[in-house]
Amino acid sequence: MRLTMIGAGYVGLVSGACFADFGHVVTCVDNNEDRIRSLGAGKMPIYEPGLDRIVASNVAEDRLRFTTDLAASVASADAVFIAVGTPSRRGDGHADLTYVHAAARLIAAALDGFTVIVTKSTVPVGTGDQIEAIIREERSDADFAVVSNPEFLREGAAIDDFKRPNRIVVGTTDPRGREVMQEVYRPLYLNQAPLLFTDRRTAELVKYAANAFLATKITFINEMADLCEKVGADVQDVARGIGLDNRIGPKFLHAGPGFGGSCFPKDTLALIRTAEEAGADLRIVSAVSDINESRKSRMADRVVDALGGSLEGRTIAVLGLTFKPNTDDMREAPSLSLIPPLQAAGASVRAYDPQGMEFARPLLPGVTLAKDAYDCATGADALVIVTEWESFRALDFARIKSVMKQPLLVDFRNIYPPSELHAHGFTYRSVGRPRLDRGEAVS
Ligand code: NAI
């Protein structure tokens, strides 16, 4: 099939490259000329493990192309996927559909013959109806079907998620739309991935419901972590103890600094707005969103507390800036809520991230970017782990200790056993686990 992907970002580029890998002929369109130029030169505009290889091989076999020419690629496509951003709208937190609506108008002008228009972007319930109305308004003669096909991939594991999804959700009641989508995903459902057909509004809601549920799970265990700290329990054992129950499951039960990233914060907010407009009261999701925001804003207090109440003249080393490992995505990263308050309280901040430095630099003025974890720790009064990159999991603590001013580790991701850091002579603070001070006897 001939597919066009509008938006060559984290979702569009991965989806386009994977569809090409399945044998479809895919054109990725983006209106960011730098992005298309860089892709044309074989340079990935984002970091996603394995993406460069899959792009290179499909470009070489002429199944994957990049262009800014939306009209030509839409005219020749069997299906056109909209994978543009849907960020939070300033002021009210609703999903900003400016890019989606603009794409719909451009698509309308270029349609030629029956075409399926697929929303892969995360869009509020009813957006498919709006796209349909826009296209009809622009081109009363157009022959098309608008289908919802939300994407569930995770950055950092995007290719594997796309190729081996837990499920594929397709929202359409149009028989021709259904047939095309069956053909598009044939390689996947032949591979046993369940293909769930629903109506369009339901498919749109499935995506938000899934993200809100996962955000709730994270927020729940974070709340348990706070309780563990008060009553002297260990949240990791609580998570394991409940997660082994297969009605609960072990995933998304890692206590930490609060969820960030390009999806959960904006999608929970947008879902709350959708519900408000529809006259439904989403009290759980509203609480999750509020609790998470206040959690992120309180993380700096933990660092202040670990340093005895004042940051004046202190140097803090931060390991990990991206919102999670294996991506360079800085959108709503917890580091962005943590670092400015540390600076405002008088600390100098040094930071290191294996992939996020380029995007982090303009977002974190005044932060000294280090060349590795050890350089970062040099001269620091506290080392703070914010993102759990693999390369931070086996630090040489004798070396770290020798370069720091004092051995203090604040670990927001619980990646070390407290006893290990204690044995290295560190004061160790983590989330929802016993506090261990340097030199203190272990009970
Ligand atoms: P992104 O910001 O990385 O990519 C969007 C791309 O669309 C940009 O390169 C932009 O230049 C391009 N674009 C905007 N308007 C355009 C137009 N009119 N014509 C051509 N290109 C245009 O965004 P990302 O992260 O890929 O997200 C896209 C959608 O997918 C969002 O709705 C998001 O919520 C959803 N999503 C994102 C996931 C993620 O992990 N990033 C996972 C699942 C869904």
Alpha helices in 307-411 (DSSP H): 334-344, 357-363, 373-377, 397-403
Q: Please tell me the predicted confidence (pLDDT) of residue 220.
A: 98
Q: What percent of the chain has pLDDT over 90?
A: 96
Name the CA dihedral angle for 23, 25, 31, 33, rounded to a multiple of 10 degrees. Answer: 90
Answer whether residue 436 shows pLDDT above 80: no
Which two three-digit tokens encode residue 309?
Answer: 């109440």
Taking a C-beta distance cutoff of 8 angstroms, is the pair 6, 15 a contact? no
- Closest ligand 1 atom to residue 150 Cα is 44
Annotated ligand binding at 253? The verdict is yes
Name the CA dihedral angle for 66, 69, 75, 81, rounded to a multiple of 10 degrees. Answer: 60
Annotated ligand binding at 207? The verdict is yes
Burial of 152 (0-12, 13-18, 19+ CB in 10 A): middle
Instruction: Report the distance separating Cα 270 and Cα 149, nearest Å.
Output: 18
Mean pLDDT of the 122-132 span? 98
What pLDDT band is residue 188 in, cutting at 50, 70 and 90?
confident
Domains observed in the chain: 2-198 (3.40.50.720), 208-290 (1.10.1040.10), 298-429 (3.40.50.720)
Q: What is the pTM of this model?
A: 0.96
Mean pLDDT of the 195-211 span? 97
| Ligand 1, atom 14, residue with closest C-alpha | 84
Q: Please tell me the predicted confidence (pLDDT) of residue 442.
A: 56
Q: SS3 for 215?
A: helix
Query: Each residue of 259-282: pLDDT tens digit?
Result: 999 999 999 999 999 999 999 999
Mean pLDDT of the 394-412 span? 97
Query: Each residue of 18-73: pLDDT tens digit?
Result: 999 999 999 999 999 999 999 999 999 999 999 999 999 999 999 999 999 999 99
What are the beta bridge partners of residue 317? 350, 383
Mean pLDDT of the 228-241 span? 97
Q: Is 18 a catalytic residue?
A: no
Annotated ligand binding at 260? The verdict is yes
Q: What is the mean pLDDT of the chain?
A: 96
Among 437, 433, 387, which Cα is nearest to 408's? 437
Place of tokens 């729940």: 220
Q: Please tell me the predicted confidence (pLDDT) of residue 190.
A: 65
Q: Please tell me the predicted confidence (pLDDT) of residue 438.
A: 76
Q: SS3 for 218?
A: helix
| Ligand 1, atom 23, residue with closest C-alpha | 85
170 pocket-lining for ligand 1 (C-beta < 6 Å): no
Range scoring the smallest mean pLDDT among 38-42, 207-211, 406-410, 437-441: 437-441
> 18, 28, 228, 263: which is the annotated catalytic residue?
263
